[in-house]
Amino acid sequence: MILWDSVSESVVHKQLTRKRPCARWLISDIMRHHWLLLGACGWVLLILMFASKFINFPFRRPDDYGGKPKSISATVATPGDIQLQLVDKKRIPTEGLLTAKPLPVDYEDWEAVQAGRLDRLSRLCSNDSLKNLTHTPITKFILDRIFVCDKHKILFCQTPKVGNTQWKKVLIVLNGAFSSVDKIPENVIHHHDKNGLPRLSSLNESEILKRLNSYFKFFIVRDPFERLISAFKDKFVQNPRSEPWYKHDIAPAIMRKYRRNHSEAKGLQFEDFVRYLGDPNHKRLDRQFGDHIIHWITYVELCAPCDIVYNAIGHHETLERDAPYILKAAGIDHLVSYPTIPPGITLYNKTKVEQYFSGIGKRDIQRLYARFQGDFTLFGYKKPDFLLD
């Protein structure tokens, strides 16, 4: 982990730990303009009816994120795929109306859910006895995780294994470097010098502060243990050939240190991974692995949710409500829209979690939970007692 220059770090830190004016302002302002917005909704729909064309792109299952790229211009949804649609106003409608999703009628209800999440976060963040689990210094590493959409004044913190690539593509197009999602070359999506979606760390301190204090900021979370399972499957089981280092460098390093039975010749097992993650001294290996750890470190370590004042937190489990909410709250719902997400695919799968953790020692699971407790607590995920007792 590269430390942000310590002087500017403390300045950034001071500025960011102030109260949460952004979120409060945003919410009350939105409520004041609720009726106005409702009227605007109808208007936007009318525009969509007359001048819209939808460009589909695949939204892979969370377990597939970061995997081998599938055809990026596919327009036919395969079962389990979610499609995110960009509205291109210049084109004549074809099947436009059929897929145009009206703005959610219960935006107000969901706004209350979001406000509840932010309140919970702010309450827990200010509890000193949880400080170690909830706070993290704003380092260059954190600023590397946050992407900047200047055109629409949005900051997006990346939490891998939670469907982030799709949000990044949307922001790349909104920033204007590419005219549509299917025109972004696959090798450019994560190439932030070339894709017009810069990292916050690429700006100087005053530019960073300006954005942190005024832009709409959001990130997405999901159940912390399900995310670890997804990371394990994606990086060590279905590992794509384009990322050989997970199997060739990282897995052997974890096995050398954490495998109980060294005559066991199988590749990295979930148990080894759990023992590494739950080790209070995991940081020594983390340093060797560089930025690849973003796939399995905590949301707290990735996005500093108690040190940066976010305006919305999406939950993968309720993506159907959160995606449209975020688009609208960020003021980009007239440019992008979410279609129906096939039912069930974002739901928490307890059976899968039980399967992966079966046969792993209680003490190892408890240590893992101790490390991820902050993520469970801050975002309201239930403690997985069925694994711990």
351 binds ligand NAG (CB under 6 A): yes
- In this chain, which of 71, 75, 78, 132 binds ligand NAG, going by CB under 6 A? 132
- Restricted to residues 282-341, the positions that interact with ligand NAG (CB under 6 A) are none
Pattern 82-121, ligand NAG, x by CB under 6 A:
----------------------------------------
- In this chain, which of 2, 349, 370, 388 binds ligand NAG, going by CB under 6 A? 349
Separation between Cα atoms, residue 342 and residue 82, nearest integer Å: 7
- Crossing angle of helices 205-214/6-16, nearest 10°? 20
Stretches 75-83, 183-191, 245-253, 349-357: which one binds ligand NAG (CB under 6 A)? 349-357
366 binds ligand NAG (CB under 6 A): no
Stretches 39-47, 67-75, 256-264, 320-328: which one binds ligand NAG (CB under 6 A)? 256-264
355 binds ligand NAG (CB under 6 A): yes
Stretches 135-143, 244-252, 281-289, 348-356: which one binds ligand NAG (CB under 6 A)? 348-356
HEC-encoded secondary structure of the chain = CCCCCHHHHHHHHHHHCCCCHHHHHHHHHHHHCHHHHHHHHHHHHHHHHHCCCEEEEEECCHHHCCCCCCCCCCCCCCCCCEEEEEECCCCCCCCHHHHCCCCCCCHHHHHHHHHHHHHHHHHHHCCHHHHHHHCCCCCHHHHHHEEEECCCCEEEECCCCCCHHHHHHHHHHHHCCCCCHHHCCHHHCCCCCCCCCCEHHHCCHHHHHHHHHHCEEEEEECCHHHHHHHHHHHHHHCCCCCCCHHHHHHHHHHHHHHCCCCCCCCCCCHHHHHHHHHCCCCHHHHHHHHHHHHHCCCHHHHHCCCCCCCCEEEEHHHHHHHHHHHHHHCCCCCCEECCCCCCCCCCCCHHHHHHHHCCCCHHHHHHHHHHHHHHHHHCCCCCCHHHHC
Output 125 or 173, the one with its CB closest to ligand NAG. Answer: 125
- In this chain, which of 38, 113, 130, 177 binds ligand NAG, going by CB under 6 A? 130
Output 73 or 127, the one with its CB closest to ligand NAG. Answer: 127
Q: How far is the CB of 136 from ligand NAG (least distance, A)?
A: 11
Output 120 or 247, the one with its CB closest to ligand NAG. Answer: 120
127 binds ligand NAG (CB under 6 A): yes
Q: How far is the CB of 74 from ligand NAG (least distance, A)?
A: 22
- In this chain, which of 7, 79, 105, 344 binds ligand NAG, going by CB under 6 A? 344
281 binds ligand NAG (CB under 6 A): no
Output 73 or 355, the one with its CB closest to ligand NAG. Answer: 355
Q: Which residues of 349-361 are buried (b: 16+ CB within 10 A; e: fewer)?
A: eeeebeebbeebe
- Restricted to residues 200-219, the positions that interact with ligand NAG (CB under 6 A) are 204, 206-207
Output 20 or 352, the one with its CB closest to ligand NAG. Answer: 352
Stretches 42-50, 137-145, 233-241, 351-359: which one binds ligand NAG (CB under 6 A)? 351-359
- Residues engaged in binding ligand NAG (CB under 6 A): 127, 129-130, 132, 204, 206-207, 261, 263-264, 344, 349, 351-352, 355
